[in-house]
Structure 1
Amino acid sequence: MILECRHCGAPLDVKPDAALTKCRYCDTTSERRLLRTVSAETPRDFRPPPQWLPPPQFPAPSNQALAYHEETLRANTRANWIVLLVGVSVAAALVPVLLLTLGPSKGGSSKKGGIVGGVLPGKSPQELAAVRIDQTREGLAKALSGSPMGSMLAVPVSHPRYQSISFMYDDKEPTFPQSFTLVQRSGATPDPKALEALGSRLHGGLVDGSWNWAGLVAVHTDAKTGLVSASVLGARVGGTSAQAKVQLGAMWKLVLHAVLGAGTGPTAEEARWIGAPHPFAALETIDLTTTVDKAAATLTQKFPGSSLSTFIELGVTVSVDHPLLRNAELSYPNEKGGTLRTVALRGSKAFPERREGLVGCLEGKLGKAKVEDRDYLAKKRDYEFPVGKLELRIGENEARVHWLPGRLNGPDWKRIVGALGACR
């Protein structure tokens, strides 16, 4: 039977009559009866993965891969099947993924590794790109000739570098997968250009191999193993299932095009749902008198693909096209007649190292900044620019505009947006 390690989440092949079991990745010893059962029977050709990356919901660090202790993994006894378990750390909702690579069809001959007549088995990238993945597990399994197993669907891929792709489903939202993962073939060399291409298509780029848009869409990559995983969180973090479905489809097209060179990528409209930026200057056109009850509809129409949050107050996140500023987060108080209160402009990867240059540029347009020492000894400071009735503050990782109720001023707002837009 396959059990789940309580410390790192790794799959453990355990005999049903065992009282105790020790994880071969993190060395945690547990009572068998206390562990979650992944499979009541061990699949005939189960092979433990050489490395395991603990999912974030487990106590083990999720940023440190754990190596399987045996020096030599058991050899595969059948050329038709290879089973690989991989831990994916992209969000708290992701769980271990079981991946299958299917062998030749009936009547075909096989060679070691499942290659048939010099052709790798499985779906080609072009065939993958031709399929919509916003389907139930059963529907997608039929479309891709995949193998369902529990909440997972595994599909072999005919590609020299990637072996398979898996789709994970959530029982609470069974109409489309919540994530998909590309896993590299054993012994294949990761292609850094593929990950660079993917990062260049994601607004703000990959940071330490990861990326997310407003907490609703996430991408995780591993330069050592070549793994690429994308997930949508939808209603679990304040979004909607309809929104998550569109985001999943857009991310599917983007990953296939950037990593496998298949398809045409998402359309401009689809890309908006996964953070494609709006012109920074468009922020000038925001009507500061719009009240909280109309703000969501007004702003999502003006900025398609923007993200909404109603935690404590109304928050609208708009992706913007600026080398130093990635997103604009507009906050409205949850009260009758509430109007725009603050705008947080989140910095890009380049913001910290170019902050001083940004401040110097802004001083040429808005006047001398007031310096506020937050930590004198550590030389941490913020810069404040009073602009009429508004105030622009430049922090370590963001720029923020705020004002008091009743002090809204369109010209001052446009002046700030214009200055930031010119300082790149």
Structure 2
Amino acid sequence: MKTSLAASFILAASLAPAAYAAPVKTYEVRSVTIAPYSGPITPVSAEFLGDAVRRLNAEGGADLLVIALDTPGGLDAAMRDIIKEMLASKKPVAVYVSPQGARAASAGVFIAMASPLVVMAPGTNIGAAHPVMLGAVPSPGDMGAKDGKGKKKSSPMEDKVLNDASAYIKSITQKTGRNVKWSVDAVKKSDSISAEEAVKAGVADFMAKDLDELLAKADGFKAGDFGKLSVKKPAVTRFEQTRRQKFLAAVTDPNIAMILMSLGAAGLFIELYNPGLILPGVVGGISMLLAFYSFQTLSASFAGVGLILLAFVLFIAEIKVMSYGLLTVGGVIAMTLGSLMLFRGPSLGGLSISMETILANVIGVVAVTALLAWIVVRAHMRKVVTGIESLEGKKALAKTALTPKGKVLVEGELWDAEMVSGSAEDGDELVVEKVNGFHITVRRP
């Protein structure tokens, strides 16, 4: 009897918390804003997505923001700005890796992990979040260094960046309740998984082929601290980039920046060769400044930019100094090395200059330099057509006997002349051999 009473008491005590547990909070979603973004994560993208989150939380904003993301990665500072806005949002911000074939790599992984609702379209992938030090130049002591196991030894700075990134993504995933182990492996080992694997691993919440399916599956889903979502045919609006943001996004593309740099150099070359044309100088100056803005925004290596500028100086010097091509060769080497050093990491960071763009720019600048050098050489070799030097080779008429000195008429002017050899009679036709000040030397034709 006592045993049954004790068991009943324990059972009642265990059921009491469940009976009095607070009901799950419901979050009504009557309106949705979708903000599509495709491209590397830069300050421009941080501004755009930050504006989208701020509009979400403003008076009259939607109840849910869906960021349709497709990114190869980008800058750490811009990524952190986006995450700060998302975590501070009073309304849920979902990340939808789409369209099919898209990816959320590098910085995109961090952004996705900061969302209370991560959805992926079929055929997408997420991962490869190992940090890339853009523009970093290894010190001589670090180059080729290996540890005791024969593996390449990382520098202390790389270790610091890696550990910082690992701790950052760990704190984010712990807050949003996602797979901490995988997220850390994505940073340290560059792990990458498909959409199906992401759902199974607890990295993504579910898959959806389009926005309609996403909203349908989101109904009843628990989105972190916001509670269970109630999505019943919400009104959908789009939030697009402004024209200014689209322009700056295009300018800050590394390949476009390199083209602008070369275009600016070509314009300045032409203006320096022939001052007063104005248009090449104006276009060249604007292009050069836009390129510098892009390099500064993308945290390009100062060493890379310096080498490119040195290449332009060498190209200009080739026009002014007869170096038999040595300055041009030096310019080509400096420009190629500078282009390769501008951004380190061809894929993970999503910021690099393609080899095709580098080759096209080097060939283009060399072609402009060669053309201007040819024009200069041709101008130096051209026969003089003005001034007294232009009299050489002209016909002269003897106005007095030349024995060997006398007077001749050249181009309507009377000159003191001297025969190269022999003599001439008054009225003989002669040819100007050489001009010496106000005296000329003539010969028979």
TM exceeding 0.5: no
Bigger relative CO (Cα 8 Å, ≥ 6 apart):
2
Q: TM-score, normalised by structure 2?
A: 0.21
State the structure with more CA Rg.
2
More strand, by proportion: 1
More helix, by proportion: 2
